[in-house]
Amino acid sequence: MYAGQQETNWVPRSFQEAARNLAKEVVKYFVRPNMIIGLGSGPMAASIVREMANFDGKETLECISTSFQIKLEAQCSGLKLVDENKIPEIDVVFDGADEVDAKFNMIKGGGGALLREKIVHSTAKQIVIAAESTKFVPTFSWPVPIEIHPFAIHILQFTL
Protein backbone atom coordinates (compact mmCIF):
# COMPACT_ATOMS: atom_id res chain seq x y z
CA MET A 1 0.00 0.00 0.00
CA TYR A 2 1.37 3.43 -0.91
CA ALA A 3 0.94 6.77 0.88
CA GLY A 4 -2.57 8.15 0.53
CA GLN A 5 -4.03 4.87 -0.71
CA GLN A 6 -7.15 3.64 1.05
CA GLU A 7 -7.19 0.07 2.28
CA THR A 8 -9.62 -1.87 0.08
CA ASN A 9 -9.50 -5.37 1.58
CA TRP A 10 -9.93 -7.74 -1.38
CA VAL A 11 -11.65 -5.37 -3.84
CA PRO A 12 -9.35 -3.54 -6.30
CA ARG A 13 -9.67 0.24 -6.41
CA SER A 14 -10.72 0.18 -10.10
CA PHE A 15 -13.67 -2.03 -9.20
CA GLN A 16 -14.73 0.37 -6.46
CA GLU A 17 -14.76 3.30 -8.86
CA ALA A 18 -16.58 1.37 -11.58
CA ALA A 19 -19.10 -0.01 -9.08
CA ARG A 20 -19.74 3.45 -7.63
CA ASN A 21 -20.36 4.93 -11.10
CA LEU A 22 -22.61 2.04 -12.11
CA ALA A 23 -24.51 2.26 -8.81
CA LYS A 24 -25.16 5.97 -9.37
CA GLU A 25 -26.71 5.20 -12.75
CA VAL A 26 -28.79 2.32 -11.37
CA VAL A 27 -30.23 4.47 -8.57
CA LYS A 28 -30.82 7.40 -10.92
CA TYR A 29 -32.81 5.34 -13.43
CA PHE A 30 -34.60 2.78 -11.29
CA VAL A 31 -35.27 4.14 -7.78
CA ARG A 32 -38.42 6.16 -7.11
CA PRO A 33 -40.02 7.24 -3.82
CA ASN A 34 -42.27 4.73 -2.02
CA MET A 35 -40.71 1.67 -3.65
CA ILE A 36 -40.22 -1.73 -2.08
CA ILE A 37 -36.73 -2.81 -3.09
CA GLY A 38 -35.09 -6.22 -2.93
CA LEU A 39 -31.39 -6.15 -2.19
CA GLY A 40 -29.16 -8.90 -3.54
CA SER A 41 -25.75 -9.78 -2.19
CA GLY A 42 -22.09 -9.12 -2.92
CA PRO A 43 -19.93 -6.11 -3.75
CA MET A 44 -22.11 -4.71 -6.56
CA ALA A 45 -25.24 -4.85 -4.41
CA ALA A 46 -23.30 -3.16 -1.61
CA SER A 47 -22.32 -0.32 -3.96
CA ILE A 48 -25.96 0.17 -4.96
CA VAL A 49 -27.06 0.21 -1.32
CA ARG A 50 -24.43 2.83 -0.47
CA GLU A 51 -25.62 4.95 -3.38
CA MET A 52 -29.25 4.61 -2.26
CA ALA A 53 -28.17 6.36 0.96
CA ASN A 54 -27.89 9.54 -1.15
CA PHE A 55 -31.34 9.15 -2.73
CA ASP A 56 -33.62 12.10 -2.08
CA GLY A 57 -36.60 10.44 -0.43
CA LYS A 58 -34.77 7.38 0.90
CA GLU A 59 -36.98 7.53 4.01
CA THR A 60 -39.92 6.42 1.82
CA LEU A 61 -38.12 3.29 0.58
CA GLU A 62 -38.64 -0.14 2.11
CA CYS A 63 -35.91 -2.73 1.55
CA ILE A 64 -35.73 -6.49 1.86
CA SER A 65 -32.23 -7.90 2.20
CA THR A 66 -31.18 -11.34 1.01
CA SER A 67 -27.91 -11.44 2.96
CA PHE A 68 -26.56 -10.44 6.34
CA GLN A 69 -23.77 -8.39 4.70
CA ILE A 70 -26.23 -6.27 2.72
CA LYS A 71 -28.54 -5.95 5.71
CA LEU A 72 -25.67 -4.32 7.60
CA GLU A 73 -24.87 -2.06 4.61
CA ALA A 74 -28.51 -0.99 4.41
CA GLN A 75 -28.68 -0.26 8.14
CA CYS A 76 -25.46 1.79 7.99
CA SER A 77 -26.87 3.66 4.98
CA GLY A 78 -30.02 4.61 6.88
CA LEU A 79 -32.35 2.52 4.72
CA LYS A 80 -35.54 1.09 6.19
CA LEU A 81 -35.54 -2.70 6.27
CA VAL A 82 -38.82 -4.62 6.24
CA ASP A 83 -39.53 -8.30 6.75
CA GLU A 84 -40.51 -11.04 4.33
CA ASN A 85 -44.24 -10.26 4.35
CA LYS A 86 -43.49 -7.53 1.76
CA ILE A 87 -41.86 -9.96 -0.69
CA PRO A 88 -44.93 -10.23 -2.97
CA GLU A 89 -44.90 -6.44 -3.38
CA ILE A 90 -41.26 -5.94 -4.49
CA ASP A 91 -41.02 -3.27 -7.19
CA VAL A 92 -37.40 -3.86 -8.14
CA VAL A 93 -34.49 -6.00 -6.97
CA PHE A 94 -30.86 -4.93 -7.37
CA ASP A 95 -28.12 -7.51 -7.56
CA GLY A 96 -24.78 -8.26 -9.18
CA ALA A 97 -23.81 -11.04 -11.59
CA ASP A 98 -21.26 -13.72 -10.81
CA GLU A 99 -20.37 -14.32 -14.48
CA VAL A 100 -21.79 -13.38 -17.90
CA ASP A 101 -20.71 -15.37 -20.96
CA ALA A 102 -20.28 -14.29 -24.59
CA LYS A 103 -23.97 -15.07 -25.32
CA PHE A 104 -25.12 -13.01 -22.30
CA ASN A 105 -26.07 -16.09 -20.29
CA MET A 106 -25.54 -15.30 -16.64
CA ILE A 107 -24.67 -17.09 -13.43
CA LYS A 108 -26.33 -15.41 -10.48
CA GLY A 109 -26.48 -16.87 -7.04
CA GLY A 110 -23.27 -18.68 -6.31
CA GLY A 111 -23.13 -17.97 -2.61
CA GLY A 112 -24.79 -18.33 0.75
CA ALA A 113 -27.81 -16.16 -0.10
CA LEU A 114 -28.82 -18.34 -3.06
CA LEU A 115 -32.29 -19.39 -1.87
CA ARG A 116 -33.24 -15.96 -0.54
CA GLU A 117 -32.06 -14.31 -3.78
CA LYS A 118 -34.10 -16.69 -5.92
CA ILE A 119 -37.25 -16.04 -3.87
CA VAL A 120 -36.83 -12.27 -4.02
CA HIS A 121 -36.00 -12.34 -7.75
CA SER A 122 -39.01 -14.53 -8.55
CA THR A 123 -41.52 -12.04 -7.11
CA ALA A 124 -40.00 -8.72 -8.19
CA LYS A 125 -41.74 -6.68 -10.86
CA GLN A 126 -38.32 -5.73 -12.22
CA ILE A 127 -34.82 -7.18 -11.76
CA VAL A 128 -31.70 -5.10 -12.31
CA ILE A 129 -28.45 -7.06 -12.45
CA ALA A 130 -25.33 -4.90 -12.63
CA ALA A 131 -22.05 -6.35 -13.86
CA GLU A 132 -18.71 -4.67 -14.31
CA SER A 133 -16.39 -5.74 -17.13
CA THR A 134 -14.51 -8.33 -15.05
CA LYS A 135 -17.70 -10.42 -14.84
CA PHE A 136 -17.80 -10.93 -18.63
CA VAL A 137 -16.06 -14.19 -19.60
CA PRO A 138 -15.78 -16.24 -22.81
CA THR A 139 -17.07 -19.36 -21.02
CA PHE A 140 -18.30 -20.05 -17.51
CA SER A 141 -15.85 -21.12 -14.86
CA TRP A 142 -17.97 -20.32 -11.80
CA PRO A 143 -19.29 -23.38 -9.96
CA VAL A 144 -23.07 -23.48 -9.87
CA PRO A 145 -24.40 -24.64 -6.52
CA ILE A 146 -27.53 -26.67 -6.06
CA GLU A 147 -29.41 -25.88 -2.88
CA ILE A 148 -31.82 -28.33 -1.33
CA HIS A 149 -34.09 -26.92 1.33
CA PRO A 150 -34.51 -29.22 4.36
CA PHE A 151 -38.29 -29.13 3.88
CA ALA A 152 -37.88 -30.92 0.51
CA ILE A 153 -35.14 -33.38 1.38
CA HIS A 154 -37.54 -36.34 1.78
CA ILE A 155 -38.99 -35.78 -1.67
CA LEU A 156 -35.55 -35.72 -3.24
CA GLN A 157 -34.41 -38.89 -1.52
CA PHE A 158 -37.13 -40.79 -3.39
CA THR A 159 -36.21 -39.31 -6.78
CA LEU A 160 -32.43 -39.69 -6.66
Distance of alpha carbon 72 from the chain centroid? 13
- Compute the C-alpha angle 34/98/87, nearest 5°: 30
Nearest Cα neighbor of 126 from 96, 97, 91, 95 is: 91
CA distances from 75 to 69, 149, 152 (A): 10, 28, 33
Enumerate the active-site residues: 117
Q: What is the rounded CA–CA span in Å between residue 73 and residue 89? A: 22
